[in-house]
Amino acid sequence: MQVAVISNLHGNLLALASALSKIERLREKGEEINKIYVLGVFGLMPYPKEVYQFISSAENIFPVRGKYDHLIAKWRELEEDEKERLREDHPDFVIRMIEWNWEMLGKDGRSWLRNDVPAFIIEKFGEKNEILFVYGEPFNPTGEDVKPKMPTSYYESLLAPLRKYEMLVVAGPIPFIAETRYGKVVCPGSAGFQPIKDSKPSFAIIDTDNMYVAFDDFEYSKKDVEDRIKEYDLPSELIDLLHHGYM
């Protein structure tokens, strides 16, 4: 059995559709991909309602709450001093997108995000292969991101308290595999937009029998996403992020 993992979707319906199309083509070639995990559903791209409607009705897609999802879900319940701290820590356009996502999702979408999108998923495949799917660091899943290109000791510090899991799968800007004496840390890369300029949207395929990991990339129309941003008069910074990233 195989599973696919998409991370940092950022509410990008076109990226989701393209990734799923690529996964379907892999199935047609004989890959046995039965489940799809999405680590981080909403964020800075302009299709939150459509993404909610699609994922919530799909039987084989399993979302995990990301850092933006967490803020969107609780935005109107935050005290003013908490909101002020967030405004100090984030650019104005990010705060605007959190508010806009909250409004666009509506009551049903917000309820789904709060109640049906967990902070982590634990799956056991076969007798021994157990995987933890989480957005960020295991003990701060919607707070601290797991960093790429770090010493092995860093990844071992994440896995050491979790020795029952053979693999930790997290979100992040670029795809990577970190091998440690406790197991693997895997990141599928970013799907919704690419923080690193000239990188490609990607996802991971995990063989749950032997824990082999492969990465694949895909394309979507950034021009169509840009047009949607303009249609809703969303912050112009999003267009720059879409085409150039921030790293």
Domains in the chain, start-ordered, CATH in brackets?
2-244 (3.60.21.10)
Burial class (CB in 10 A: 0-12, 13-18, 19+), 146: buried
Give the count of beta carbons closer than 10 Å to the beta carbon of residue 81: 8
pLDDT in tens, 123-155: 999 888 999 999 999 999 888 899 999 999 999
> Which long-range contacts link 244-247 to residues 24+ away (Cβ below 8 Å)?
244/197, 245/193, 245/194, 245/195, 245/196, 245/197, 245/199, 246/195, 247/173, 247/195, 247/196, 247/197
Instruction: Look at 6-20, 73-87, 198-212 and tell me which has the smallest mean pLDDT.
Output: 73-87
Q: What is the pLDDT of residue 143?
A: 81
CA 58/CA 136 separation, integer angstroms: 24
Q: What is the pLDDT of residue 48?
A: 98
Q: What is the pLDDT of residue 88?
A: 92
Model's pTM, two decimal places? 0.96
Q: What is the mean pLDDT of residues 160-187?
A: 94
Closest by CA position to 44, among listed 195, 217, 247: 195
> Which long-range contacts link 183-187 to residues 24+ away (Cβ below 8 Å)?
183/159, 184/211, 184/213, 185/146, 185/155, 185/158, 185/159, 186/5, 186/213, 187/7, 187/146, 187/148
Q: How confident is the model at residue 197 (pLDDT cuts 50, 70, 90)?
A: confident
Q: What is the pLDDT of residue 136?
A: 96
What is the rounded average pLDDT for all residues in the chain?
95
pLDDT in tens, 215-242: 999 999 999 999 999 999 999 999 999 9
Asked whether the CA dihedral 129, 135, 140, 144 is positive or negative, the reply is positive
What type of residue sits at position 64?
A: V
Q: What is the mean pLDDT of residues 13-37?
A: 96
Q: Are 175 and 204 in contact (CB under 8 A)?
A: yes
pLDDT of 115 strictly over 90? yes
